[in-house]
Amino acid sequence: MNIKPLKTKTDYKAALKEIESLMRAKPGTPAGDRLDVLATLVQAYEAKHYPLDLPDPVEAIKFTMEQKGLTVKDLEPMIGRSNRVYEILNRTRPLTLKMIWRLHQGLGIPAECLIRQAEGERTVSKAA
């Protein structure tokens, strides 16, 4: 099979080119096995050299709203009354754990994304 680790950008590009030529390979065949191994190597190389940051939670919510054609009213069961939804979308109130769970369950937004502090979000500190 003669497959080696992807250590350089040249190795990475060569693997991508070979993957392209193997895209029609049937699973379980030597070509299909080669495609599977190369895809795994490319995935590992990309994770190391081109990591993707999780999106901002508010932007993720807005993106999901746009993609699914949702309104503020549609978010009320997950966040609360419309004024609360606007506070979240305007970054004046942080998401609570309950909101994060409901948004994850209801809209399929990854919880890891929703847990992040939104950019520009004000941190609210309450005295005991």
What is the amino acid identity at position 64? Answer: T
Residues in the chain: 128
pLDDT at 128 over 90: no
CA 14/CA 20 separation, integer angstroms: 10
pTM: 0.58
pLDDT digits (tens, 9 = 90+) for 27-57: 999 999 999 999 999 999 999 998 888 889 9
pLDDT digits (tens, 9 = 90+) for 67-85: 999 999 999 999 999 999 9
Asked if residues 57 and 114 have their Cβ atoms less than 8 Å apart, the reply is yes
